[in-house]
Every structure is written in C-alpha cells, then in structure tokens.
Structure 1
C-alpha cells in the first residue's frame, strides 16, 4: 500500500482526535477509533499476504 494512503488516514485520525479534545463529543472519538481499527485490519491482512507469498516463493514445503 502506498504511504500517502496511510498518511491521509492518519491525518484524518488526528483531525478527529483534535475535535474530540476541543469539544469532547464522543462521536469524534468513535470516528478516530474506527480509523485506527481499519488501519490495523489492513496492516494485518498485508502481513498475512506477505507471509503467504514468502511460503509460495520458497523451495520448502509449508503447512498452511
């Protein structure tokens, strides 16, 4: 994934957290947490994909 994609999501996260800190509205906090959860899921899928590719490209037999 492109770094700019992650940077945009992190910028949005920071914006929501700033709004939460300024106004104390829980909706801003929930939105910020949803962004972090989405980023964590993407990173996890990317790691799983990377490990699978390493096993496919390896000359050894692997259990999946």
Structure 2
C-alpha cells in the first residue's frame, strides 16, 4: 500500500479538523472522526496482511 493513500486520508482529516476549529460545527468533527476510524481500520488490516505474509514465507509451522 502506498503512502499516498495515507496522506490523502490525513489531509482529509486535517481539513475537517480545521473547519471544525474555524466554524465549530460538530458535523465537521464527526467527519474527522470517521476518517480517522477508517484510517485506523486500514492500518490494522495492512498489519494483519503483513503478519500473514511473513508466516507464509517462514519455514515454521504456525497455529491459528
């Protein structure tokens, strides 16, 4: 996964937070939280994927 995806999500998060700070509208804060939750979910999925790939490539037998 390229870092451009992460950068786009972080830019979107920062934009919503800036709008929230300027206007104080709670909807911007909720959008920022949703972007952050999505980013965290993708990072977790990416870490799990890497862990699985490492186990597949190793010579050891792993239990599930």
State whether TM-score is above 0.5: yes
1:1-64 matched pairs, under 5 angstroms:
1-64=1-64
Per the normalisation by structure 1, the TM-score is 0.95
Unaligned segments of structure 1, at least 5 residues = none
**1:2 deviation in Å?**
1.0
Q: How many residues align?
A: 64
Q: RMSD across aligned C-alpha pairs, in angstroms?
A: 0.6
Q: List, as ranges, runs of 4+ consecutive aligned residues in structure 1 with deviation greater than 2 Å.
A: none
